Amino acid sequence: MNLPPNAPSDIVGRIEGREVRAFTIANRKGACARIMELGATLLEFHAPGREGRLADVVLGESALDSYLAGRSYMGAICGRYGNRIAGGAFTLDGERHQLGCNDGHNHEHGGFRGFDKRLWSGRPAADGRTVAFDYRSADGEEGFPGTLDARVTFGLDDGDRFAIEIEARADRPTLCNLVHHSYWNLAGHGVGEVLDHELLLEADFHTPVSADLITTGEIHSVEDTPFDFREPKPLGRDIARLEGRQGYDHNFVLRGFPGEMKRAARLFHPGSGRGFELHTSEPGLQLYTGGHFDGSQPGKSGVAYRRFAGVALETQRFPDSPNKGHFPPARLDPGMTYRHLMEFRFFTER
């Protein structure tokens, strides 16, 4: 396969009078990723199975308008703060900041018009293997203080390593916790539930949540609980032991240190032989099994995604860390660089 000198692009629509482009990056083994400027969103990821057959393994919306209107955050970069902040408020240097409360009384994934609903500017590298997206978030956007300049770079190499590097800088103290929110189904995005996928998490502890999914501030052992993924097990094995119908929507405390690159998870689909290991620099990982999908809205290719149609593995700072002083901080000061690395190392097994 001869790669083009630049990542090929196509136009997916227009927003605010501007064309929205999508860029495709590929490797010599046939894997490829397609990412658009709205939300720096991963639209497609095609990965080979054990017989070499490619399948698109990320869920997606049916059209550009659906990405603007939806609240599933499929494939998007969420920010300025991914996950939830209790009461939609925090105090920084003695000043209280009120955010948009788009999840009941709480703030979630950046508010009513977070980074997933914003137009980024895409810029491909000359080798066709990487593409970078830039976005400037204005002072006061969704209630966050300071102007923040963010960049997300996606890369795919011949070792089937799909890397996402997120960087940001601010001109005054603020919060920054940018999260990539793809839903994965390694059988193929329209095949069905992911409960047969085997998951391993490098986590001995998790952060319990209240009824509205806000972390209580406690840190509990996963021992003898449905949250124990220290050995690979099917996602569906213990899901019935959780309260409610949503399944998993919980943060795990990863082994290692913040800023240190380490393995966080291993996801494998026995039927297709597809899998990946996820490595990250972040201290936490949100496991979400897509419990809100109900088949009422068509997704990509007209597929009606139903409950547990995909699994999100969001590496992150802990939810509500601004209000939990003992959690790893999400503060970003002028002169500092926020840096968040994710690397999906794809493999196949017989």
Has 97 been annotated as catalytic? no
Residue of 97, 107, 180, 181 marked catalytic: 181
Where are the domains positioned within the chain?
9-348
Q: Which residues contact 327 (CB under 8 A, 6 or more apart)?
A: 207, 215, 217, 317, 318, 320, 321
Our answer to whether residue 314 is catalytic in this structure is yes
Considering the candidates 108, 167, 277, 314, report the single residue annotated as catalytic: 314
What token pair was written down for 342? Answer: 């994710």
Q: How far apart are CA 345 and CA 110, in angstroms?
A: 28
Question: Cβ(11)–Cβ(21) under 8 Å?
Answer: yes
- Residue by residue, pLDDT tens for the chain (350 residues) are 344 446 789 999 999 899 999 999 999 999 999 999 999 999 999 999 999 999 999 999 999 999 999 999 999 999 999 999 999 999 999 999 999 999 999 999 999 999 999 999 999 987 778 999 999 999 999 999 999 999 999 999 999 999 999 999 999 999 999 999 999 999 999 999 999 999 999 999 999 999 999 999 999 999 999 999 999 999 999 999 998 778 999 999 999 988 899 999 999 999 999 999 999 999 999 999 999 999 998 999 999 999 999 999 999 999 999 999 999 999 999 999 999 999 999 999 98
Judge if the upstream peptide bond of residue 241 is cis by omega within 30 degrees of 0. Answer: no
Tell me what pLDDT residue 3 has.
40
- pTM summary value: 0.96
Rounded Cα–Cα distance for residues 263 and 242 (Å): 26
Whole-angstrom CA distances from 135 to 65, 118, 246 are 20, 8, 33
CATH number of 9-348: 2.70.98.10
Please tell me the predicted confidence (pLDDT) of residue 1. Answer: 33
Residue 6 confidence (pLDDT): 61
